[in-house]
Amino acid sequence: MKSEHLLEEFNKQIKYELESAYLYFAMEAYFHAENFSGMAQWMRVQTQEELAHAAKFFDFLITSNSRVELAELSGPRKDWKSPLDVFKAVYKHEQFVTSRINELYQLAQSENDYPAVVLLQWFITEQVEEEANALKIVEDLERMGDSGHGLFLIDRELGTRIYMPPATAE
């Protein structure tokens, strides 16, 4: 990688992706404690996706013969009021990640780092999906209100999520 600034930002992004995984692990623990095993499963898949995101940045730096510098991770939030509260936090978090990816994309373009641009294009598409998934669940939960039966159905549906590793070579 030619640009020291971009290299720093990519290393920082590894930390953000790992902190995302840590956050979703915390949310999984919350759902287990509240006996929502389907939502817990959804969070486990989300954690696996974040670890794969971190690995994508990590592998990109290794492949481009650049320095990986792992930073200290911040602890995640641990308590939420309700499943809706959790998924609102997921949506907000993914919006933050999207803004980070957009910043990295602009930086990579300004530095004429084309391999980094290609990598970040994958993440831009991924973030559209990440936000849409979270928003859909927020909307479903809002529609259900306090209905125990509704929560039961959503929990069952979210429990069907399975992890699909991202395609290689990006």
Cβ burial, residue 48 (10 Å; 0-12/13-18/19+): middle
- Smallest distance, ligand FEO to C-beta of residue 158, A: 16
| 158/46 Cα distance (integer angstroms) | 11
Residue nearest to ligand FEO (CB): 53
- Whether 1 contacts 64, CB under 8 Å: yes
DSSP state of 82: S
- Smallest distance, ligand FEO to C-beta of residue 80, A: 18
The interface mask with ligand FEO, positions 103-122, x = CB under 6 A, is: --------------------
Strand, coil or helix: what is 2?
coil
Residue type, 35: N
20 lies in the binding site for ligand FEO (CB under 6 A): yes
13 lies in the binding site for ligand FEO (CB under 6 A): no
**In the set 19, 28, 130, 155, which binds ligand FEO (CB under 6 A)?**
130
Strand, coil or helix: what is 153?
helix
Site for ligand FEO in 135-154 (CB under 6 A): none
28 lies in the binding site for ligand FEO (CB under 6 A): no
